[in-house]
A and B are shown apart, each in its own frame.
Chain A
Amino acid sequence: MKSQESIAITIKGVQKHFGQVHALRGIDLEIRRGEFFGLLGPNGAGKSTLINTIAGLTRADVGQISVMGYDVAKQYRMARRCIGIVPQELVYDSFFNVREMLRLQAGYFGCGHENHNWIEELLDVLMLHDKADTNVKALSGGMKRRVLVAMALVHKPDVVVLDEPTAGVDVELRQSLWEFIKRLHNEGHTIVLTTHYLEEAESLCDRIAILGEGKIIALDSKQGLLDRGVNHVQLVTLTTEDPIQDIPAQLSKNIKQHNGSELVLQLNQKTDNIIDLLDAVRNTGAIIKTIKTSEADLEDVFMEITNNGRLT
């Protein structure tokens, strides 16, 4: 049995309806302190609803959630002090500049002048100092995203939840945000990340839960999930002398990518036979020049688990 001191977020039997939509169908999950946890799933899987419920923005119909041991409903003040949320949408208050927004946000959490040095440090670390007196409305999307990260950290929370923090940001900013989030993790923060970029989750997360239709359909360490792919999924990349014009129906469910004379096939090692698939390619009259095989990455595992978005 795990000690409560080692758990950052506990979710027990959480259900949530929005009218007829059953958004969360009994979620049970424990996220450990100091963990870098990934929450993945196709659109509409319930990721944001789950995060909103943890943050107190939505109330669960059934079930219980605690953050650092504090119940988010009954001990909401302590629970909210322990958590910082970076929302998915680029929201801001057009009446205020960056520094004002950070100071106001800190004030809502009960922090006063003693917190101003920390705010200046955040402005430095997130490269916002030059823009501190600029109205947030005038900032680029990437800068606004950094302001949201800073706002989530103004009260020095133990747990940081990032809801698709790199959605729509350029590569440079994405890299700098990754570095910053890794630094937070190394300093002992518990990080919960939802993302559509699976390479991001593969690179950063210790453990990953995959949500589908309001349920957890996979929960494992990153390596555990990848091992599922190693055992079941293999990618075969073929190049042919001439482009393949008509793909045989037999191959259609296996095609991951088709670009002229390059064909990438995804094989389920339990059900597919590589010889049969190669024969099907040859039967089109194509002459195979090269064959390359590779093991699955997290994206392949994700697609297999969610069956291209349709859950098995």
Chain B
Amino acid sequence: MNIRGFYTLFCKELLRFYKVAVQTILAPVITALLYLLVFSHVLKEHIEVYPDVSYTAFLIPGLIMMAVIQNSFANSSSSLIQSKYTGNILFILLPPLSYLEFYLAFMAAAVVRGVAVGTGVLLTSLFFVDLPLHSMLYLLLFGIMSSATLGSMGIIAGIWADKFDHLAGFQNFVIMPLSFLSGVFYSIHSLPDIWQTASHFNPFFYMIDGFRYSFFGQSDVDPLFSLSVVSLFLLILASTAMWILKSGYKLRN
């Protein structure tokens, strides 16, 4: 294995978002905080989703996970589409890097960005409300596995997209609706039956519900079941991303 090659590519991907940290870290943290301020101000007097949990506190894990999801996806997908567009993708296609090293470097960098943004949202949220922590293990498992899943999805989208429009379409018509309709702002038990059923087909719902469990010890579905669904989703997307990289689809032709 070309460990140094993998590590260099990983570092390059970290440097890439670190050099524009205002855009890649600070901006999503502020966006999440604006959601928190607006929704918690409007709804805190009207909704209590879980017993003894304020709506503001309920909202925070969902907002953290939504930021993790969107930024992990954006990291790998935007890096790949930019490299393809400018042609500098060949700098990483010419060296002796395997498809596995390529995948792991992009996925790991996406995890770091997702976790960095999520941590930023969490830390700044603590200025507004006290959050309990029920399980650090679940928090790390859901945080890391969800960002790895979306990092993998970003790799697939970044390779598939021929232009920025394609990627914007993927973000606006897949990532955004699935993350907004995954229970960030509500419990699915407050939805009509048909939408409750539909929510169970949304993998992002399990990421948010499981992540929320790690704070409150309460969730809409069993956290172990959520973890299983997220693991399966990660496995499918990671396998697909590696298969695409191995085949050379849109990269080596």
Q: Which of A109-117, A198-206, A300-308 contacts B (4 or more CB under 8 A)?
A: A109-117
Please tell me if the beta carbons of B248 and A59 are within 8 angstroms of each other in the complex. yes
Please tell me if the beta carbons of B7 and A107 are within 8 angstroms of each other in the complex. yes
In the assembled complex, B23 has its CB within 8 A of some CB on chain A: no
Please tell me if the beta carbons of A92 and B4 are within 8 angstroms of each other in the complex. no
Which residues of B from 216 to 253 have beta carbons under 8 Å from A? 248, 252-253
Which residues of B from 1 to 42 have beta carbons under 8 Å from A? 2, 4-5, 7-9, 11-12, 15-16, 19-20
Please tell me if the beta carbons of A56 and B86 are within 8 angstroms of each other in the complex. no
Which residues of B from 72 to 109 have beta carbons under 8 Å from A? 83, 86-88, 90-98
B88: chain A residues at CB < 8 Å are 91-93
A119: chain B residues at CB < 8 Å are none
Q: Which of A77-85, A227-235, A281-289, A290-298 contacts B (4 or more CB under 8 A)?
A: A77-85
A87: chain B residues at CB < 8 Å are 87, 90
Please tell me if the beta carbons of A107 and B90 are within 8 angstroms of each other in the complex. no
A225 to B74 CA separation, bound complex (whole angstroms)? 54
Please tell me if the beta carbons of A85 and B5 are within 8 angstroms of each other in the complex. no
B96: chain A residues at CB < 8 Å are 76-78, 80-81, 108-110
Chain B residue nearest to A88 (CB atoms) is B87
A105 to B8 CA separation, bound complex (whole angstroms)? 8
A77 to B5 CA separation, bound complex (whole angstroms)? 11
Please tell me if the beta carbons of B93 and A104 are within 8 angstroms of each other in the complex. no
Please tell me if the beta carbons of B5 and A110 are within 8 angstroms of each other in the complex. yes
B109, chain A: closest CB distance, angstroms:
13
Please tell me if the beta carbons of A108 and B9 are within 8 angstroms of each other in the complex. yes
Q: Given the known A-B contacts A76-B96, A95-B16, are A59 and B90 also in contact in the complex, defined by CB atoms under 8 Å?
A: no
In the assembled complex, A94 has its CB within 8 A of some CB on chain B: yes
A81: chain B residues at CB < 8 Å are 96
B106-139 interface mask toward A, CB cutoff 8 Å, 1 = contact, 0 = none?
0000000000000000000000000000000000
Q: Given the known A-B contacts A57-B94, A93-B91, A96-B15, are A111 and B86 also in contact in the complex, defined by CB atoms under 8 Å?
A: no
A197, chain B: closest CB distance, angstroms:
23
In the assembled complex, A241 has its CB within 8 A of some CB on chain B: no
The total of interchain contacts (Cβ-Cβ below 8 angstroms) comes to 79
Please tell me if the beta carbons of B94 and A80 are within 8 angstroms of each other in the complex. yes
Q: Given the known A-B contacts A85-B94, A108-B91, are A93 and B5 also in contact in the complex, defined by CB atoms under 8 Å?
A: no
In the assembled complex, A176 has its CB within 8 A of some CB on chain B: no
Q: How large is the interface on A (under 10, 10 to 19, 20 to 34, 35 or more residues)?
A: 20 to 34
B11: chain A residues at CB < 8 Å are 104, 107
A96, chain B: closest CB distance, angstroms:
7
In the assembled complex, A55 has its CB within 8 A of some CB on chain B: yes
A92 to B90 CA separation, bound complex (whole angstroms)? 10
Please tell me if the beta carbons of A108 and B16 are within 8 angstroms of each other in the complex. no
Chain B residue nearest to A81 (CB atoms) is B96
B83: chain A residues at CB < 8 Å are 93
A100: chain B residues at CB < 8 Å are 15
Q: Select the residue from A87, A100, A109 with max chain B CB neighbours within 10 A.
A: A109
Which residues of A from 63 to 105 have beta carbons under 8 Å from B? 76-78, 80-81, 85, 87, 89, 91-96, 100-101, 104-105
A3-34 interface mask toward B, CB cutoff 8 Å, 1 = contact, 0 = none?
00000000000000010000000000000000
Chain A residue nearest to B3 (CB atoms) is A110
In the assembled complex, A58 has its CB within 8 A of some CB on chain B: yes
Chain B residue nearest to A76 (CB atoms) is B96
Please tell me if the beta carbons of A57 and B90 are within 8 angstroms of each other in the complex. yes
In the assembled complex, A151 has its CB within 8 A of some CB on chain B: yes
A110: chain B residues at CB < 8 Å are 2, 4-5, 96
Please tell me if the beta carbons of A59 and B9 are within 8 angstroms of each other in the complex. no
Residues on A close to B: CB < 8 A? 18, 55-59, 76-78, 80-81, 85, 87, 89, 91-96, 100-101, 104-105, 107-112, 151, 155
- A selection of 10 A-B contacts at a CB cut-off of 8 Å is A55-B94, A56-B94, A80-B94, A91-B87, A91-B90, A101-B91, A104-B91, A108-B96, A110-B2, A155-B95
**Closest CB pairs A-B (n = 3):** A107-B8, A108-B95, A77-B96
